[in-house]
Amino acid sequence: MSEVIKETPLKKVMIICAKGTVEDVYAALIMANGAVMEGIEAKLFFTFFGLDAITKKYMNKLHTSTVGNPALRMPGGLPFPTLLGALPGVEAGVSAMMKKQMDEMDVPPVDEFLDMITAGGGEIYACKLAADMFKLTKDDFSEHVKDIITVGELYAMSGGEGTQIIFT
- By the criterion CB under 8 A, which residues form the site for another protein? 30, 33-34, 36-39, 105-108, 112, 115-116, 119-121
Shortest distance (Å) from residue 143 CB to another protein: 14
CB of 119 to another protein, least distance (A): 4
Nearer to another protein, 101 or 150 (CB): 101
Task: Please state the closest distance from residue 38 (CB atom) to another protein, in A.
Answer: 7
Nearer to another protein, 33 or 66 (CB): 33
Residue among 79 and 121 whose Cβ is closer to another protein: 121
Question: Three-class SS of residue 48?
Answer: helix
Q: What is the signed CA dihedral for 157, 45, 69, 65, rounded to 10 degrees? A: 180
CB 168 within 8 A of CB 31: yes
Q: Round to whole Å and give the CA distance between 100 and 97.
A: 5
**Cβ proximity to another protein, 36 vs 131, nearer residue:** 36
Q: How many C-alpha atoms does 105 have within 13 Å on its Cβ side?
A: 10
Exposed/middle/buried for 54, CB within 10 Å: 0-12, 13-18, 19+?
buried
Least Å distance between CB 39 and another protein? 3
